[in-house]
Copies of this chain bind each other. A is one copy, B any other.
């Protein structure tokens, strides 16, 4: 068994997670960003944890979030009461949100509730939130506004340029139980193809996790860029905004001092060389379906 830990944000990281999860000789632990967690109608929504769980279970929605074949009966009805229901929660998806919110209110930790959810979907890999403590990604825009994830991403469609990120609560946040042990025991630590500043930095903002990553002998990242651009979301724009440059070198710069290998897409194979001491390797990273995911996972393991 190869013990693999993946640090992951949402869709891209979850798809790689599914590929790794599908390999019989891999014992996978995913450590998932909780910086975007937010209350919706008083329910605890964890966009990246939910995308990960649904993707590992093979029931994710067509755009990578929410559930496949969901309905929006309750969500639509909320408008009757004047509620802003643009953050669409499907009826199947609501069951998870209700279950989690209730569990947390009863005093269970996010780690405990997440493991029950994992078991409910019969997922074999271990799914851990980065922290049971609140760590919230805050986006300061070039016009000086400091926005929550919801304001920046959902309400404003990530159209603002980013001046600075901070992760509220990071100084007081501990890694969730099992995270450090999993990283320390991993044969391979992979940072998934997620938005480096917005999805991975909030994990690394927890100092004990950053230290564990730094001391790991073999850390690989998978670039979220295809042909230098984010497949979806603002990864390329945010990295440029933050002065990290563009393309593969921006990803390397985002993970300075942390990784030894960067996997880029074959469309970026011109970058397959040493960049600032990081060995850049080109593979087919676009994950359109389950078979792609497994192929990429296998290729990564063989590096």
Contacts and interface: CB of A to CB of B under 8 A. Distances in A.
Interface of A: 41-43, 71, 73-75, 77-78, 80-83, 91-92, 94-96, 98-99, 101-102, 105-106, 116-117, 120-121
A91 B73 contact: yes
B117 A92 contact: no
A71 B78 CA distance: 15
Nearest to A101: B42
A108 B42 CA distance: 13
A74 B101 contact: no
A298 B152 CA distance: 57
Given A98-B42, A99-B41, A92 B77 contact: yes
Contact of A94 (B42, B81, B94, B99): B94
Contacts of A42: 98, 101-102, 105-106
Contacts of A106: 42
A80 B121 contact: yes
B105 A91 contact: no
Nearest to A91: B73
A82 B116 contact: yes
Nearest to A100: B81
A94 B92 CA distance: 12
Given A81-B116, A94-B94, 9 more contacts: A41-B98, A41-B102, A43-B98, A71-B91, A73-B73, A73-B91, A77-B91, A77-B92, A77-B95
Contact of A95 (B43, B81, B98): B81
Nearest to A104: B42
A130 B75 CA distance: 29
A77 B73 CA distance: 14
Contacts of A96: 77, 81
A83 B103 CA distance: 11
Contact of A91 (B43, B91, B121): B91
6 contacts: A42-B101, A43-B98, A74-B98, A77-B91, A81-B120, A91-B94
Given A41-B98, A98-B43, A99-B81, A91 B117 contact: no
